Chain A
């Protein structure tokens, strides 16, 4: 849940990047971290990685600036994608205000995407939240692989698998090249801050 400190006039929103293992969640955060101005970002915290895999979570704090006197900060989290880290994933998801589902376009990971989205939905339900009621965008990552010999899913296939029920905004991206990373972040940031302020704050600023 968003942290709102009326005495300090600060709002902290939590956005979680969710998705199957190795879909590029950490790479998304690394790209954001390396591109943002120093004044707007904090130090990226990566906890416990083994090889290229996130075992606990990554965290990147961003400072959005002041709106109506409120200092708005966004904290971007990733979850470990591997199935075995279900408990950690659920823990990181706690208190999330916005979600980015990062989908892996490799054909061999097609089922993993669907399983991961279902895992997200189930974990949210355990916290009493409904996925369809939360700010959510879906990112189709690794689109740079489309032109390689590696078999990949088309956007239509990904849409059919992942977005037929939710009908949310989707973004094609390539986290390693930076394509689509900020478009995704911009959209989820808008949705999340609106969601948080509508829910908790709007009446305070009238």
Chain B
């Protein structure tokens, strides 16, 4: 093959790999696509589409959206490859335990040692990262490939020699010798588990009556406890203790559900409608989703013993815990300034209004941008004197340099001679509006409907519905 052909072939493979990775997410390509005439690559790139990868897997290892149970562990390994941190290790361990919990019984038993060694390697990375080889994430990746192959294999003996044995050997050699004293250090070093790990799931599942115990649980409890560095697995409770534990887990689920509904969701909604809190909102959403996942895991582990209507245990009153939950969406402001703009009634936030009034006629000809210096009165007047809010504290020299865009309304054209001008400002952003009429203060009545705007690119923070009339509330928010 000539150099040119070789290069073209190689570039074709690159394009193919990138198209495969990004094509499911991309919309129509507006620009001229890159050279599509490259020859088809003989070797497909590794990250195949999830459905393709999942095709050979049993149903228990597939989620509703077609992704397989291995994906979270793969993601965690990629993160570990970048940074070995306690949180990344914890995520990986949880994902591994999740995979183990979803395996078929007989396979889970046969693969116990693989799971155990992988978990020990992760534990070693948490306890004594300096003694673990830098290739540990890669070894774990190979372990994952073996588990994936085992999940899809009809008979494990077929892959025993080719995959299982080499993987076990590599995992064993990757685990360093860590003295027993490290176990205490490890427990201290591990972040506090706020949610149920698979170990706890095993406890819950093992608490079921013998008849109700799923075979999956039986398999998972056969994992031999690690004597040196891993925390001991809980001993399966029997008889009365099991019933007590089931009751406790059911009560915990009831409390968890209540907390999510009454505590987390209202705060999440509050963040959703508060400008500038988008990231906190995302963090809170992730927290809720994680708790909901843990709740589902516990329900799954409880199986037939799950009681959806379990009584919520009486808790000592903490703060507002006994109060009734707030409505899902409450207007975040108590007062808005109502005005007519472009023929529509809109609301502004009084605290963001830095100027309102009828300026001199020459200001009306300012066009799409309004230099604030045009608002000063008289030759010796100061801009700061006509400003209110945060701009009233600003230096005159700074105010002289500020120019603010004028919002275009859909209805109006040029401002009328008596049109009042309103200027909003928040942090470094501002916008001017030529109103039809001056503003009026409105105290937002409790219980009125508030729908936050989901598109952060608009100036409308949300819509307020009062007595059947919907009023968009315009704010300067982060864009």
Contacts and interface: CB of A to CB of B under 8 A. Distances in A.
A145 B408 CA distance: 12
B279 A52 contact: yes
B20 A35 contact: no
Given A43-B91, A176-B457, A185-B22, 19 more contacts: A8-B138, A38-B67, A42-B81, A43-B75, A43-B78, A43-B79, A52-B276, A52-B478, A61-B79, A61-B82, A65-B21, A65-B46, A71-B46, A107-B368, A148-B459, A149-B410, A171-B30, A178-B27, A202-B10
Given A8-B138, A142-B479, A194-B14, A65 B405 contact: no
Interface residues of B, number: 66
B74 interface: yes
Contacts of B131: none
Interface in A159-206: 169-172, 174, 176-183, 185-187, 189-190, 193-194, 197-198, 202, 205-206
Interface string A129-143: 000000000000010
Contacts of A41: 75, 78
Given A8-B138, A45-B83, A108-B403, A36 B25 contact: yes
Contacts of A193: 14, 18
A151 B408 contact: yes
Interface of A: 8, 22, 30, 35-43, 45, 49, 51-52, 59, 61-68, 71-72, 106-108, 142, 144-145, 148-151, 169-172, 174, 176-183, 185-187, 189-190, 193-194, 197-198, 202, 205-206
B70 A148 contact: no
B474 to A, nearest CB: 9
A158 to B, nearest CB: 14
Interface string B90-130: 01000000000000000000000000000000000000000
A202 B7 CA distance: 7
**Chain A contact residues: over half helix, strand or loop, or mixed?**
mixed
Given A39-B70, A41-B75, A51-B478, A149 B409 contact: yes
B363 interface: no
B72 to A, nearest CB: 5
A181 B455 CA distance: 17
B30 A180 contact: yes
B43 interface: yes
Contacts of A59: 82
A62 B30 contact: no
Contacts of B14: 67, 190, 193-194, 197
Contacts of A71: 46
Nearest to A27: B456
Contact of B34 (A61, A171, A187): A187
B252 interface: no
Interface in B271-302: 276, 278-279, 282
B479 A39 contact: no
Nearest to A104: B479
A190 B31 CA distance: 14
A70 B11 CA distance: 13
A198 B366 CA distance: 54
